[in-house]
Amino acid sequence: MDEQHLIKLLRVPAGIVDDSGTVLLTNPAWDQFETMVDHAGKEYSELNRLIRAPHIKKECQKIWRGKNESFEYYFRTIARDHCQLSITKCNENRMLFQVLPAVDSGVVAENAVDVLESMNEAFFSLDENWCFTYVNHEAEKVLFKSREELIGKNMWLLFPDAWGTNFEEHYFKTMHDQIPTRFEEYYGPIKSWFEVTAYPNRQGGLSVYFRNINKQKEMEKSLWQSANSDHLTGLPNRRYSYELMKDYIEKNHPFTIYFLDLDQFKIINDLYGHDVGDRLIHKIGMRLQKNLPEEITISRLGGDEYLILVPDLLDKAEVEDLGNRLIGMFSKAFVLQDRPEIHVEPSVGVSQFPKDGNLVDTLIDKADIAMYEAKKKQLTKAVMYDPVMHESVSRDLIIQQELKKVIERGELEFVYQPQIDSRRNWITGVEVLTRWTHPVLGPVSPAEFIPIAETSGMMEKLTRYQLDWCLSKFSDWRKHFSFDGVIAFNISSGLFRNKNFIAFLEQVIREHKIPFDQIELEITENIQLFSHKESVQTLERLRDLGIRVAIDDFGTGYSTLSYLNQFPVDKIKIDKHFTDQIMTDIKGEAILVSIIKLANSLELDVLAEGVETEEQRDFLKMNGCSDMQGYYYFKPMTLTECEQFYYEKVLKERVPE
């Protein structure tokens, strides 16, 4: 019986998936299946998303490898129906997924209890007579009563003050109308506000999820009453901090201010949405407030900017000490409900009264300039203002303005660095690198102008120009030299969320008649890209076309194995930092070898960047990394140099040692 006929015969939701995780065939019940929740309480809106969950994919890999013949996974729907996901292997590269009613009630019950007990939310269930049938540990803490005091007892007798309140109205409505209700209510005897969600259950009773929201209510009250508080964090706002500094200045009271700005906060907002960004801002304010002395004033100036005001003129050592303390507060990830851990780092600038000025705006501007210096140089310390920093800021503004004219004036140049297979001593591809020589500024480093291009909105324009120009030349190479290697481009992660740019990328490749499998996109690893659903989906679509995806500078960014296992990637490029450790640092060598083994175990290509010596080449080859790039083989070459090189060397089918 063929797969299509089999799927049609099955009345339960069923699908056929290949060994790459692609869903090949489904029946109508599969697409119409309702929203579900796994053991960890994570919600999935469709079965396609559930089967791509890490724990499911891990079990599928065991089946592909022959370690297991099948796998059953129990979960529930939002309507609280318990189900079993059954996975069996059809043939060598096909697998059948079916959703069946759960048959092992003992396992289901055990899993359900595990979920309920691991939740941060409080939960209890009632029967049709309003008696408690189950209470989780969190509910015991919130209600200040043990399970023994609650189970089997009537709710209204134990909590008589709930009668005649929103609790009564919504609970009766839920049970009578058989619809979920959500509400907030204050319960006087334990002086607590609660956020409550009630669901009807099949036995005629209720399932109730709730949490204490006293802090939230207190903050709302404070924000409503105080004109000097930030609406988002509850911290003092810009107005309050300005007035406080003016008061200090009038009294000639010395003080030190720390201007704190979050790095790449815009990406977090784009990635998770402004609601999550706002919650992160609040979490950061709470962490600062919790870990700094009361005499220090913490205020939010707006956006992702915070001001820490110390009512004292700190010396250099004291400034560095408090700066390190501030930055250290961000070493631990921020955890938000229903979201992965968020890592964020600050840049910190410092100015002082009266040393750096006697006007509030002047002091803020100078602390801001010092902060920008820390951000530009990626310094993990607080930077004190220095007058020479004005020159650096002016140069950046000039670069930002000049970037708008760079294409029209033809100042961009593209160079190509070959990628080598050291086993065959043969070129497998070239990486495109951008160079800019300004008529007045002279050569401007990519490390300097690319970040400015990204923050000023010029990155897409520059990348489009680079792709069109280089692919045009690459098309000529293929015709003249029969080159079958890849051409690799570094693409800013933010562009993968730009649908217009992705459409342009596909179009320009087709226009120049280049096979998709000769295109490689290099992207820098970061959590924003790894966990952004639309970015991942875009890369999956590009890979379906045949485009290769490489993680550039691997090991220097957000190297999380759980993301790497799920991320659509073909190659890992090891950063030069690790190559430089060869023969100089044993621990660095160990990390390098581990990265190579990781890539090989995940069946990914691995290339080492920055290979400059014979010893580095031999070490890498010996440890399983044969693809290399660096000055030992070739420096980046201009177009003319490349054409001459191909004519003289590649056509002879050998690359010199």
**In this structure, are 461 and 526 located in the same domain?**
yes
In this structure, which amino acid lies at residue 286?
A: M
Does 188 map to a domain? yes
**In this structure, are 152 and 275 located in the same domain?**
no
17: exposed, middle or buried (C-beta count within 10 Å: 0-12, 13-18, 19+)? buried
Do the Cβ atoms of 350 and 257 come closer than 8 Å? Answer: yes
Task: State the pLDDT at residue 652.
Answer: 60
Last residue of a domain, one of 112, 128, 146: 112
Do the Cβ atoms of 324 and 254 come closer than 8 Å? Answer: no
Task: Work out the angle at residue 556's Cα, subtended by the Cα atoms of residues 20 and 382, and round it to the nearest 5 degrees.
Answer: 140
**In this structure, are 418 and 553 located in the same domain?**
yes
What pairs with residue 100 in β-bridges? 84
**In this structure, are 235 and 157 located in the same domain?**
no
Question: Tokens in use for 425?
Answer: 């001593």
pLDDT digit string, tens, across residues 446-460: 988 888 888 777 889
The CATH number given to whatever domain includes residue 140 is 3.30.450.20
Do the Cβ atoms of 596 and 623 come closer than 8 Å? Answer: yes
- The backbone torsions φ and ψ at residue 438, rounded to the nearest 5 degrees and listed phi first, read -90, 140
Does 657 map to a domain? no
Residue 408's alpha-carbon distances to 81, 411, 465, in angstroms, are 63, 8, 11
Which DSSP category does 99 fall into?
E
- Per-residue pLDDT band at 84 (split at 50, 70, 90): confident
Q: Distance (Å, rounded) from C-alpha 100 to C-alpha 29?
A: 11
- The backbone torsions φ and ψ at residue 651, rounded to the nearest 5 degrees and listed phi first, read -65, -20
**In this structure, are 506 and 602 located in the same domain?**
yes
Task: State the pLDDT at residue 107.
Answer: 46
pLDDT digit string, tens, across residues 24-74: 889 888 988 888 887 666 788 899 989 988 888 888 888 888 888 788 887
What pairs with residue 23 in β-bridges? 17
Do the Cβ atoms of 60 and 20 come closer than 8 Å? Answer: no
**In this structure, are 253 and 351 located in the same domain?**
yes
pLDDT reading at 223 higher than 70: no
Question: Cβ–Cβ contacts within 10 Å for residue 32, how many?
Answer: 10
- Per-residue pLDDT band at 514 (split at 50, 70, 90): very high
Does 201 map to a domain? yes
Do the Cβ atoms of 68 and 62 come closer than 8 Å? Answer: yes
Task: State the pLDDT at residue 307.
Answer: 97
What beta strand segments (E) does 82-160 contain? 82-91, 94-101, 122-126, 132-135
Task: State the pLDDT at residue 114.
Answer: 63
pLDDT reading at 527 higher than 60: no
Helix (H) or strand (E) holding 158: helix 155-158
Does 224 map to a domain? no
**In this structure, are 235 and 108 located in the same domain?**
no
Coil, strand, or helix at residue 230? coil
**In this structure, are 14 and 50 located in the same domain?**
yes
Does 419 map to a domain? yes
- Segment 355-373 shows an average pLDDT of 91
Does 549 map to a domain? yes
Task: State the pLDDT at residue 323.
Answer: 94
Q: Pick the closest to residue 260 from 234, 292, 223 (CA basis).
A: 292
Contacts of 647 by beta carbon, 8 Å cutoff, 6+ apart: 481
**In this structure, are 95 and 191 located in the same domain?**
no
Expressed in angstroms, the distance from the first to the final Cα of the chain is 57
pLDDT reading at 351 higher than 90: yes
Between 64 and 259, name the one with better pLDDT: 259
446-456 vs 389-402: helix crossing angle, rounded to 10: 70
The CATH number given to whatever domain includes residue 357 is 3.30.70.270
What pairs with residue 94 in β-bridges? 18, 91
pLDDT reading at 651 higher than 70: no
| Mean pLDDT (the chain, rounded) | 86
3-state helix, strand, coil in the chain (%, to 5): 45, 25, 30
Last residue of a domain, one of 112, 141, 174: 112
Looking at mean pLDDT, say which of 19-28, 69-78, 244-253, 368-377 comes out highest.
244-253
Q: Distance (Å, rounded) from C-alpha 637 to C-alpha 542?
A: 28
- Per-residue pLDDT band at 204 (split at 50, 70, 90): confident
pLDDT digit string, tens, across residues 528-558: 555 566 777 888 899 999 999 998 887 665 4
Q: Distance (Å, rounded) from C-alpha 347 to C-alpha 26?
A: 50
Does 427 map to a domain? yes
pLDDT digit string, tens, across residues 265-280: 877 777 677 888 898 9
Last residue of a domain, one of 45, 78, 112: 112
Q: Distance (Å, rounded) from C-alpha 23 to C-alpha 99?
A: 15
Task: Quickly list H helices, 441-549.
Answer: 446-456, 459-481, 499-511, 527-531, 533-545
Task: State the pLDDT at residue 657.
Answer: 44
Q: Pick the closest to residue 56 from 36, 34, 33, 26 (CA basis).
A: 36
Q: Pick the closest to residue 525 from 597, 574, 590, 459 (CA basis).
A: 574
How large a percentage of the chain has pLDDT more than 70?
91
pLDDT reading at 227 higher than 80: no
Instruction: Work out whether strand 122-126 and strand 132-135 pair parallel, antiparallel, or are unpaired.
Output: antiparallel
> Does residue 354 have a cis bond before it (omega within 30 degrees)?
yes
Task: State the pLDDT at residue 422.
Answer: 92
The CATH number given to whatever domain includes residue 524 is 3.20.20.450
Q: Pick the closest to residue 82 from 98, 103, 97 (CA basis).
A: 103
pLDDT digit string, tens, across residues 139-196: 999 999 998 899 889 999 999 999 989 999 999 999 888 888 999 999 999 889 999 9
Q: Distance (Å, rounded) from C-alpha 319 to C-alpha 535?
A: 41
Q: Distance (Å, rounded) from C-alpha 483 to C-alpha 501?
A: 27
Number of domains making up the chain:
4
**In this structure, are 426 and 306 located in the same domain?**
no
- Per-residue pLDDT band at 255 (split at 50, 70, 90): very high
DSSP assignments along 158-203, one per residue: H-GGGTTSHHHHHHHHHHHHT--EEEEEEEGGGTEEEEEEEEE-TT
- Segment 383-407 shows an average pLDDT of 84
Residue with tokens 């851990």: 341
- Segment 483-502 shows an average pLDDT of 87
**In this structure, are 369 and 415 located in the same domain?**
no
569: exposed, middle or buried (C-beta count within 10 Å: 0-12, 13-18, 19+)? buried
Q: Distance (Å, rounded) from C-alpha 606 to C-alpha 592?
A: 11
Question: Tokens in use for 66?
Answer: 């022959």
**In this structure, are 320 and 202 located in the same domain?**
no
pLDDT reading at 296 higher than 60: yes
Does 222 map to a domain? no
Question: Cβ–Cβ contacts within 10 Å for residue 437, how many?
Answer: 12
- Per-residue pLDDT band at 112 (split at 50, 70, 90): low
Range of the structural domain that residue 548 is part of: 398-652
- Per-residue pLDDT band at 565 (split at 50, 70, 90): low
Question: Tokens in use for 29?
Answer: 């019940």
Q: Pick the closest to residue 492 from 462, 532, 448 (CA basis).
A: 462
Q: Pick the closest to residue 90 from 29, 27, 14 (CA basis).
A: 14
Between 20 and 462, name the one with better pLDDT: 462
Question: Cβ–Cβ contacts within 10 Å for residue 470, how many?
Answer: 20
